[in-house]
Amino acid sequence: MRLVMGEMGEEDLAEVLELERKAFASPWTRDMYLRELEKPEGCYVTARYGSELVGYGGTLLILDEAHVMTLAVKEDRRRRGIGARLLLELVRRSEEKGARFLTLEVRRSNLAAIELYERFGFQIMGERKHYYLDNLENAFIMWTDDITTPEYRRLLEGLWERYGNAG
Ligand SMILES: CC(C)(COP(=O)(O)OP(=O)(O)OC[C@H]1O[C@@H](n2cnc3c(N)ncnc32)[C@H](O)[C@@H]1OP(=O)(O)O)[C@@H](O)C(=O)NCCC(=O)NCCS
């Protein structure tokens, strides 16, 4: 079965919240998602195999910066390129809305996510102390260079080749 990307809507939220609670120590609530989905500067996407939700992610555009707000893949579907495929989709959709840079916060200990983001050209540019309230863990702040440059386009092309047909 093929992996299909779609725009997240209210009808996805029951499954999104189920995965959210498994993937994150401080999960977002339904109301938080509903507020995010209303924002025109937001891009929220789902990845499905048939009817099964296997991952989702979202960005919020602030000026020309796309902030990666969330990204999660079902535990038994990880390491098959779905996270990378979701991120490719988010980069494409955010750029269409005018993004020139990508940024995010990630737990210091989240080596899987950091490794994934580094593949996308994110670099650690700073650290926020005790950012996560559940365990007071620090966050790394990561940024890409300008994603509209030929260098970044080449990086993206390579990633599309590798993960474009993930699943
Ligand atoms: C982070 C997460 C979304 C990655 O999803 P995924 O579908 O497993 O990632 P992919 O298979 O697309 O991985 C792409 C690349 O990222 C890196 N990567 C992903 N998981 C990794 C791991 N456990 N260890 C090391 N590198 C990893 C690898 O470079 C990988 O490339 P490769 O498999 O070709 O070597 C997933 O682990 C997850 O849902 N974690 C819980 C939620 C979370 O922490 N989200 C991030 C919040 S900032």
- The finding on whether 82 has its CB within 6 A of some atom of ligand 1 is yes
Residue 12 is given by DSSP the state G
- Atom 37 of ligand 1: nearest residue by CA position: 112
**Fold held by 3-163:** Aminopeptidase (3.40.630)
Average pLDDT taken over every residue of the chain: 97
- pLDDT value at residue 148: 96
Segments making up each domain of the chain, as ranges: 3-163
Cα–ligand 1 centroid distance for 82 (angstroms): 8
Active site residue 115: no
Active site residue 117: yes
pTM exceeds 0.85, yes or no: yes
- pLDDT value at residue 9: 98
Q: Count Cα neighbours of 38 within 13 Å in the Cβ-side half-sphere.
A: 6
Q: Which residue has the tokens 């924002």?
A: 39
CA distance 132 to 138: 7
CA distance 69 to 61: 10
Of 36, 41, 105, 137, the catalytic one is 105
- The finding on whether 113 has its CB within 6 A of some atom of ligand 1 is yes
* pLDDT over 90 (residue 167): no
